[in-house]
Structure 1
Amino acid sequence: MSVNKAKGTAWESLIVAYLREHHNPSAHRNVQMGRLDIGDISGLYLHALEAKAEKTITLSDYIKQANREAINAGEPFGCAVVKRRMKGVADGYVVRDVATDVRLMNRLKDAEEILRDIAPTVYEDFDKRHREAA
């Protein structure tokens, strides 16, 4: 295995471990499927995830690939998780284009409005639990 391939595999494994601990215990690396690839990792809610650990960062290529793989995976959103040099997973970057981010935020906004209308007390608890300063 090449050094670059090994670095990519290690980065994917670290992302999976992080997702399993903090988000989804069934997150996993995907088998590569060529032009019908569904992303490097499954398990980030509603997303096809493309993992990148490269010295030279080319965001436009990453986003194009992630969006194509989201379509293949049947997920509404694609994103790239880009390794930050000399940092761990929590300090990496999740990157998507503005159009994808606006679609995601509109979905979240609509869901929160529905929750607020149907169950105001539950919404208040939800809102308090998820408000966290950057």
Structure 2
Amino acid sequence: MIPSANPSKAKGTAWESTWTKYVQEHHNPAAHRNVQMGRLDIGDVAGYYLHAAELKAEKTITLSDYIAQANREAVNAGAPFGCAVVKRRMKGVADGYVVRDVATDVRLMNRMRDMEDALRAAAPAAYSLIDKQHREAA
């Protein structure tokens, strides 16, 4: 393999590929890396349900910049939520961080609450089964 002329870019690409594979295995088999689109970028990875995901693997973490970028890209992608997925140094993909601002997180929690309430009312047995599965996974 030929070494990259830009080691930082290679590190970022490796993180995007590793995280995408993890999401494919544990969340959505159709997840994939997006083509970069400049100022109209739609996030680094598509297929993380309801989110534009902006991935970062940097030595110095600047959450405010990451969140601002993720939120812009969510608008561009037509996704309701943006998130930054930050690599944790010296750790595997499952130990990384998914970060949202508080306003985005509250909107997500409100949506989840409303959807759970609707499912519980419409299909109590299905709700109980899904709730049990997710509690056991924790």
Q: TM-score, normalised by structure 1?
A: 0.97
Q: Give the C-alpha shift of residue 132 in structure 1.
A: 4.3
Amino acid at match of 1:25: P
Are 1:8 and 2:28 an aligned pair?
A: no
Q: Separation in 2 of the partners of 1:111 and 1:87?
A: 34
Summarize deviations over 1:92-133 as a string: whole Å, max 9, x none: 000000000000000000000000001111111111111147
Are 1:20 and 2:14 an aligned pair?
A: no
1:42 corresponds to which residue?
A: 46
Summarize deviations over 1:35-87 as a string: whole Å, max 9, x none: 00000110100000000000000000000000000000000000000000000
Are 1:58 and 2:62 an aligned pair?
A: yes
Are 1:129 and 2:133 an aligned pair?
A: yes
| DSSP-derived class of the 1:51 partner | strand
Q: Separation in 2 of the partners of 1:132 and 1:84?
A: 26
Q: TM-score, normalised by structure 2?
A: 0.95
Q: Separation in 2 of the partners of 1:10 and 1:132?
A: 31
1:105 corresponds to which residue?
A: 109
**Identity among equivalent pairs (%):** 76
Amino acid at match of 1:73: A
Name which of 117, 121, 131 aligns with 1:117: 121
| DSSP-derived class of the 1:128 partner | helix
Long gaps (5+) in structure 2: none
